[in-house]
Structure 1
Amino acid sequence: MSGNVNTPLLQDRSGNVLPFGSAQVQDHPIFLRVCHSPWSWLSQGTLVYLRAGIVAYLTAVGGMLIDYKINHRGDDAHTSWRILFQFSSLAFVLLWLYHFIAFCWGFTHLYYPDVEEDDQSWESRVLLKMSPPVQTARSRKRFYFSLFYTIVHVVVFMNALIFWTVLVPQDHGHLPKGHEAESYSDVGDFFSDGWFEPFCVLNLWVFTTFLASAEILVLNSVKRQVPVPSHVFAIIFFLSCYIGWAAFGKIVTDHYPFFWMDPEAMGKKEIVAAYASGFVGLGPTVFAFMYGLIGMRENLTKKDDSSSQFKQSPVQSRQANIDEDFQRGNAQV
């Protein structure tokens, strides 16, 4: 059954639609906000097709990027396992995973909103796995997915920012041969050694950023993250864990993902520590930028969002009677 966009998503105990700007924290769950654009000109059906195209494109490009990282990045002296520890690999995988999840949720929410939990057929079990989660009274699924959503996009923005402002200016970007000259302004040099390497560079460090921006501004209606301190701490913790993962990668592959992680190359451990601190500290700064983008989109689409109505399935309607548990602001909406 296809979704009916004229059915409200959540109601209060009396059956009334919760008003926009209500003091209650309960609102459209983040799981379903991922399935709906805040812009009235982008229908839910069109959004599902767009998400399918994005997943297909990222999947196809992923194989090309593996070949590029193994054979075209100038690190032939090191094992191919080094790509598992590179920040750009992490950013791309997280972005692919997010869009795969968003497509699955959007597809089932639109076309199969009424899957029966008691149906034990394999089709129903697959559709249930693909469907947006059911938010129970004490569940923190909203919050955890909000952390995931935030970390994915912060990492994608950081990946591009570090590459173009740190790695490339210091000749650690492994740009196509024709472009590794004295000038970085001649586009002709960038494509002078064929199309494959420039294509991979643009997909790793340009297209992903545009895609993340489009996701925030156009493709979903996720609100600004709350509580902010918890998201900032989660970002710092995640980036700190990556530093540990990169150090482990050095042991396994004898190769540092970033040049500034090598004490011998940098000369002093204090310089490495300063770079590492800057790397971790960049996360909250990028989060502030992301938070601003969401706020800008919310202001621009406030009218559309206040009048938007979503399909509610019988399973999802169970959330209508749990508003007390969301009044304390412990869930991302």
Structure 2
Amino acid sequence: MSSSTALLPKDRKKDDHKSLVFWRSLVAVYLFFSFLAILHFEFEILNERWEMIYNFSNIVYGLQTLYAIITAIWTFMHLYYPHHDNNSTFCERFFSPPRSNGNTKNKYFFSVFYYLIVTFPHIVTIIYWAILVPRSKTELSGETGEIIVGNWWYCKFYIVAKYGINSFIALFELFYLSSIKRPEAFHHVTALGALLLAYVGWAAFGHYHTEKYCYYFLDHEEIGWNYYWSCVAGFVVLGELFFIFIYAVTGIRESMTKKQADDKNTGYQRLPQ
């Protein structure tokens, strides 16, 4: 493993590296336990069952949690166990980032994973506040006042964590926790669009399984086929617009930090190493 990755850039001081380990660990712990609290709220209070695994916001939050755990472990290992070889223990090799000569496809997939993590939480947030709340189509809209009042603080935490703090963490990752350079945009636009379309298919399967949709605008029975395909296209376009926004903000961050990319072709070219 080299002395620098996008998780621990070499131009940071060691104290900054320790701070980075602290913040990544804190984010990972928060996301893990808040995700458990969110699932518990939906299971015990909203009485949801299989619907939870078809919920777009749950999928994104789960992936965001997974990313935070992986990067926290990699950052810790890179700082405290920066070099490993055949004499290293299995745990050291297993939990360390792959070497810089790793598979290019793996780097590309992780790059897509990263841009999913810093893009999709904003899709979840904007859909909730700009579309679902004004039309009273949220998961809490059909609940009785007794349930909401009886779990008032839990409801507030649920909403703020799932549809607010998630976006803040995505921006925190973008501006402070990583130093990832902009990739070639076309392949990422295609990949993220394909993932959004894959979710549309997953939501349709979920409707077949549970007879419910996470988002009403993906329910062709409610809005009609005439509007369904327009909504699907809008859903994908919204995701692409947020990717363009994140891509532009990444460029601004690069200008602010005055860092030059060695190679823009691999996206996450400085991680793993």
TM-score range (shorter-chain normalised) is 0.7 to 0.9
Name the CA distance, whole Å, in 1 between partners of 2:263 and 2:164.
40
Report the CA distance between 1:173 and its aligned residue: 1.9
1:278 equivalent to 2:234? Answer: yes
CA contact (8 A) 1:68 1:200 kept: yes
Of the three residues 238, 245, 257, the one matched with 2:214 is 257
Equivalent positions of 1:184-203 (< 5 A) are 194-203=152-161
Deviations 1:60-88 (A, max 9, x none): 11221012222434xx4xx5011000011
Equivalent positions of 1:57-76 (< 5 A) are 57-73=30-46, 76=47
CA contact (8 A) 2:107 2:266 kept: no
Deviations 1:233-269 (A, max 9, x none): 0011000000001111111111111111222321x21
Identity %: 26
Report SS of the residue matched to 1:132: coil
- The aligned counterpart of 1:217 is 175
CA contact (8 A) 1:85 1:257 kept: yes
1:243 equivalent to 2:218? Answer: no
- The aligned counterpart of 1:34 is 7
Name the CA distance, whole Å, in 2 between partners of 1:128 and 1:91.
28
Report the CA distance between 1:332 and its aligned residue: 3.9
Equivalent positions of 1:104-143 (< 5 A) are 104-119=73-88, 124-136=89-101, 139-143=104-108
- The aligned counterpart of 1:89 is 58
Name the CA distance, whole Å, in 2 between partners of 1:138 and 1:208.
31
CA contact (8 A) 1:153 1:212 kept: yes
Deviations 1:80-124 (A, max 9, x none): 0110000110110110011111111101100011222344xxxx2
Deviations 1:285-317 (A, max 9, x none): 000111122112111111xx47xxxxxxxxxxx
Name the CA distance, whole Å, in 1 between partners of 2:166 and 2:228.
28
- The aligned counterpart of 1:204 is 162
- The aligned counterpart of 2:17 is 44
Of the three residues 229, 253, 267, the one matched with 1:297 is 253
Report the CA distance between 1:58 and its aligned residue: 1.2
Name the CA distance, whole Å, in 1 between partners of 2:141 and 2:31.
22
Name the CA distance, whole Å, in 2 between partners of 1:59 and 1:113.
26
CA contact (8 A) 2:181 2:264 kept: no
Q: Which has the larger radius of gyration?
A: 1
Name the CA distance, whole Å, in 2 between partners of 1:328 and 1:253.
43
- Structure 1 residue runs without a partner (length 5+): 10-27, 181-189, 307-325
CA contact (8 A) 2:28 2:69 kept: yes
RMSD over equivalenced CA pairs, Å: 2.9
CA contact (8 A) 1:36 1:219 kept: no
CA contact (8 A) 2:118 2:173 kept: no
Does the C-alpha gap of structure 1 residues 137 and 200 become closer, same or farther in structure 2, counting only changes over 3 Å?
closer
CA contact (8 A) 1:38 1:301 kept: no
TM-score (norm 1): 0.72
CA contact (8 A) 1:191 1:198 kept: no
CA contact (8 A) 2:192 2:240 kept: yes
- The aligned counterpart of 2:70 is 101
- The aligned counterpart of 1:25 is none
- Structure 2 residue runs without a partner (length 5+): none
Report SS of the residue matched to 1:47: helix
- The aligned counterpart of 1:156 is 121
Report SS of the residue matched to 2:58: helix
Report the CA distance between 1:137 and its aligned residue: 7.0
Of the three residues 134, 137, 153, the one matched with 1:169 is 134
Name the CA distance, whole Å, in 1 between partners of 2:57 and 2:264.
37
Q: Which amino acid is the alignment partner of residue 228 of structure 1?
A: A
Report SS of the residue matched to 2:253: helix
Report the CA distance between 1:41 and its aligned residue: 10
Does the C-alpha gap of structure 1 residues 293 and 155 become closer, same or farther in structure 2, counting only changes over 3 Å?
same
User: Between Structure 1 and Structure 2, how many residues are aligned?
Assistant: 266
Q: Which amino acid is the alignment partner of residue 245 of structure 2?
A: F
Does the C-alpha gap of structure 1 residues 39 and 214 become closer, same or farther in structure 2, counting only changes over 3 Å?
farther
Q: Which amino acid is the alignment partner of residue 264 of structure 1?
A: E
